Each structure stands twice: as C-alpha cells, then as structure tokens.
Structure 1
Amino acid sequence: MTRANSQTPPKHFLTLLDLNPGAATGLITRATELKQRRQRGEHYRPLIGYTLAMVFEKSSTRTRVSFEAGMAQLGGTALFLSPKDTQLGRGEPIEDSARVLSRMVDVVMIRTFEHETLTRFADYSQVPVINGLTDRFHPCQLLADMQTYTEHRGPIQGRRVVFIGDGNNMCHSYINAARLFDFELHIACPPGFEPEPEILAAAADHCTLLDDPAAAVEDADLVVTDVWASMGQESEEDQRKALFADFSVTSALMARARSNALFMHCLPAHRGEEVSADVIDGPQSVVWDEAENRLHAQKALLEWLLLDQRSGSEPAH
C-alpha cells in the first residue's frame, strides 16, 4: 500500500458539491457495479491494509453498519469511535484531534452536530474526511438516493423531485443534488421551517419553495420526506407534530404525483407522522433499496477517495 503524499492536500467529501457532475454520475454507476459484484458472490478487496476511523458524536444504525461492513467487504478495517472514545470537541482542540488521527488512519468519517466541527477537522487532516451527517448536510444519503432512483427509473436529470417537511440537512442535500444532477426540486415546508436562504438561493434555477404539499407533488417523479424532529430536537417534538400535521405523505398525496412516482425516506421513519404506513410499506416505496444502497454508494466513495483520486481519475468502471 502506498499512502497518499502528505504534501498533497487530500480530497474530502463534506457536501455533494465537493463532486463535479461527472464524478457524481460515475460514483452512482460504480456503486451499482459494486452492488452487482456482491450479488454475484465476487470478492473484491482493493483496500487491504487501509483503515477507516468512524467518529460518532451522533449515533446511527445505518451509517455505522454501512461504513463498517463496506470497509470490511473492500478488505480494509473500520474503527468505531464513540463520544466516549475521543476528545473531539471536548478537552482537545478539533485541530489537534485531526492532526493526530489522520497520521494513524487512511480516511476519517465523522457524524456530528455542527457542520463547522467537520470543516475544521478537514482543514487539519492529512487524509480524506467524509461527512457521515451534520446538522446542515447529509451527502452520503443522497448518493444512495440517487443510486436508488437511477436503478429503478433511469437518470434523474430533468425529473421533478419533491421534498416535504423540515428544511433540514436532508432538504439542504436535496437542494445541492438538484444542482449537481440537474433535476427540478419542489420543497414544501411549514412557515418558519424553510431551508437556509443562502443554500436555497444558490440553486434558485432548480428549486421552488412552496407551503402547500398538494401543489408541490403535482406531476412528481419522486417524493421524499424525513422525520419532523431530528436528533437534538426532541424537546420540540410535540410542537412540531402540530405544525407539520398537514405535511404528512399519505396515499392521497401520492396520488397527485405521477402514477410511477417513487417514495423515499432516509429512515428511521415514524409511521402515522411524516408518512403513512400504506405509503412507506406500499408498492411505490423503495426505502429498503435506498437503505441498502448506503452500503454500495459508500463503498464506491471510499474506493474513489482512497484509490482513484490519487491519479486524478473519475470513479473506476
């Protein structure tokens, strides 16, 4: 194994916009190829000798399992670091944690609250840093979502996508995805829960903000939602349930979309709140494929960050 040249600044994946359209499309294609290889029972282990550090300030089932299993399947090793196991943001400055950890591992995934924690860590890291989720963005989930749509319906370019609910990290990432993959995005949020203005303004030619879910889903090819209260917002849960009551994705709402529209949710889901049981468990739902594709999309991402970028190439095919 040849470690990346410490004099060459590493490439990071902090938001979707760290990719160009060619690289993004290549990652989606590569993710499906890796998925098919695994389904055929092929063993592909290009990352023997590589180590991924997974730093969790926010817990997650899907993020931990998909990264840990993905690294193992590629032949590498993953280290799980909980808040109890690190000094990140506590006694030790983030900059010092980055300097130390990046001398010992080949890539770092961080799942945290403040996006600034991630960017500060990346500024001082000698190795690639991956955003496993922050309060502003969740780009790994969008790679899986784009892979899932492409596998079921083909390219998403030019399609109409609808995000319903809180203007949160998932909404922000869909805004970035609209720019990167060139689709039309309708966003339906209750007043006061809109996405950040500067993120929305940068994608003004791709996004339309509405406060009426029924109007938003007209002729939609894909309908997406998320929980009404994310981790860290538990104290607001009852208030949000009242304010978001008209923003539930029900079968009546889905009926206003195209007849072949898909439904996605990053999970975990609360049936009877942001989505009805008959939608998430119904024929238009692809949430289980979407969840599985976290594994494959992140394997493609790890391969690209650790191998392909060293020669400046697009994702391998």
Structure 2
Amino acid sequence: MATNTQEIHFQQQELKGKDFLTLADYTKDEIEYLIDLADYLKKQQKDRVIFEPLKGKTLGMIFEKSSTRTRVSFETGIYQLGGLGIFLSSKDIQIGRGESIADTAKVLSGYLDGIMIRTFAQEDVEELAKHASIPVINGLTDLYHPCQALADLQTIKEVKGKLQGEKLVYIGDGNNMTHSLMIGASLTGMHMVAVTPDGYTPNKEVLTKAKSIADQHGAIIEWTTDVETAVQGADVLYTDVWASMGQEEEQQQREKDFENYQVNERLLEKAKTDAIFMHCLPAHRGEEVTTGVIDGKQSVVFQQAENRLHAQKALMTALMTD
C-alpha cells in the first residue's frame, strides 16, 4: 500500500476551524473546492493510498437521531484519515440530562478536535457552534442536511461532468433535504425545481435565501405543485421519504397527500433520456419510488450513498487539518 503526502493540485481554500452548519455559509469557490477534495480523496482510497492528515485527531459524534449512513460514513472517514471517532448518544452524555448546550460545547472543545451533531433543532447546532472553539459539523437537523447535499453535488458532477446549468427536480416533501439541495443548487449555478403538494412547501425563508444566492450565480430556483411540467427536461430526479423521522404518526395522511408524487417509470420517461435518479436513503420502496426506478439503470443511489464518505472526509480534512 502506497503512501502519498503530495499537495493537492487545485485551488485550496482556507477553511481550517470553520463550522459547517449550512451550505449557505460557504461561497461557490469553497463548495467547489470541497467537491474537488472529495473526488481527490475518493481516488486516493480507490488507489489504496494512505493519506492521514488527521492522525492523532478526534471527532466527537453526537447523535440525538438514529442513523446508518451518517454514523458509519463519519466513523469510517475519520479512521481512514488517521483519526478517531467517538460515538456520543444523547442518552449517554450529560446534554441528555439537562447540561446546557453551551457547557457541553466548552467541555468537548477541551477534549476533541471537531464535533459532528445529528439532532432536531437547527438552533441547537448553532448554539453548539457559538460556544465551541473547534469546528462543528451539522450531520442533520429538521431544517438542513448539508452533508448529504454536498455528497449529492459531488455525485451529480461525477456522473454529468458539471453542475452549472443542470436541471435538478426534487419531488416530495419540502423538508431539510429540499432546503439543502436548494442552497447547493443556487451556489453551483443549477436549475432546481422543488415539487411538493400544497401544505408541504419548503420553508419560505430558506426559499427566499436560495433565490437570492441563485441570482448571484446564474442559478434558477423554483417551487411548484405540478409534477408533470416540472420533470420535462430534467437531468436529475430526486426524492425522499414522505414521512421523515418523527413524523410516523402522519404516515397514512401523507400517503394520501403524496399519492400523485411517486417517482415511477412513467414519470422518469418524461425526463431526459440520460436523466439520473437520486434518493438520500433510506427508501420506502413502493411509496415515494418504485422498485423498478431505484434498482434501474438510471439510478445512482448507492454511488450517492458512498459519496457521503468521501464528501465528509473532505469536510473533516478541510476543517480539522493543522
């Protein structure tokens, strides 16, 4: 197995010590740098090159929401970069027993080199970052899922060769995934259409912010309820579960409200012939997407899932390397 410590041959951005709470806190150049770095680290791994810029570093991983992809990709990623990941369940640490977020942030800053948190309220992540003296990474909140969106951008560029001008159509609930994709698309010059039923629209403040960013980068951000029109000319079709974690009691009502918003073979045929299908997973086959689509030749969902590892390794490398 080779060892390679050569410099990365693209325009490096100075991101050491910065938090990653939402893509909106980053510039177009910084997002493109992270995608390039993710591609570089992916190639290093495939070539079995040892690259350990985080040797001796420790990442604390706070989970108030359960996870498969987030935990495994972060824990594996920090290990591959030479560091250590420590799983911290909210049931096991004092934050789950009444210790303030501010106190937790200050204590953990004395032990760790970075914190990843997967929780409910965006305000809690922002409070943690405010009082921590080390980088804080948002692993998911009810408002944003920036790590997934970063991996998604990497995947689209990997498959399509570019992001600028590509049309991304998101179909489903106007949730945290929708919000992060809108911000990511606006920063990278994409045309994104969020398609949701009435009553499930994206957050108005996030939509306004995304449109404002889009104006600066030649992007187009739209929202509609019209699935059939939206998918015309789409390069990417994207969906998510209809009832996210914590919304299980709404499942039956949501199935009725979303019944015309399933990504199926008929809908996929209305997009471009080389369109790809994406899903952040886990998927409920037969609900938001048919088995034929998610397992079909146009689906890139498992390539997309793998890229969580590489995108997050890029994040940790950029934010935590001395």
| TM-score bracket, shorter-length normalisation | over 0.9
Is contact 2:95–2:104 with CA below 8 Å preserved after alignment? yes
- After superposition, what is the alpha-carbon deviation per residue over 1:281-307, rounded to whole angstroms, capped at 9, x for unaligned? 001100000000000010011000012
Matched, 1:27 2:41: no
Amino acid at match of 2:136: V
Pick the aligned partner of 2:265 from 251, 270, 273: 251
Matched, 1:211 2:225: yes
Aligned counterparts, 1:85-96, within 5 A: 85-88=92-95, 90-96=97-103
Matched, 1:40 2:54: no
How far residue 203 of structure 1 moved from its aligned partner, in angstroms, is 2.6
Matched, 1:165 2:161: no
C-alpha separation in 1, matches of 2:318 and 2:48: 22
Is contact 2:90–2:96 with CA below 8 Å preserved after alignment? no
C-alpha separation in 1, matches of 2:239 and 2:26: 24
Amino acid at match of 1:293: N
C-alpha separation in 2, matches of 1:208 and 1:127: 36
- After superposition, what is the alpha-carbon deviation per residue over 1:101-131, rounded to whole angstroms, capped at 9, x for unaligned? 1111000000000111100010000100000
Matched, 1:188 2:195: yes
C-alpha separation in 1, matches of 2:307 and 2:143: 22
SS in 2 for 1:223: strand
RMSD (CA atoms):
1.1
Match for residue 223 of structure 1? 237
How far residue 197 of structure 1 moved from its aligned partner, in angstroms, is 0.7
Matched, 1:152 2:166: no
Match for residue 72 of structure 1? 79
Deviating 4+ runs (over 6 angstroms): none
Is contact 2:17–2:320 with CA below 8 Å preserved after alignment? no
C-alpha separation in 2, matches of 1:22 and 1:102: 28
Question: Which runs of no fewer than 5 residues in structure 1 stay unpaired?
Answer: 1-8, 311-317
Matched, 1:52 2:66: no
C-alpha separation in 2, matches of 1:175 and 1:79: 31
Matched, 1:141 2:148: yes
Instruction: Give TM-score, length-normalised by structure 2.
Output: 0.91
Pick the aligned partner of 1:278 from 292, 302, 312: 292
Match for residue 122 of structure 1? 129
Match for residue 301 of structure 2? 287
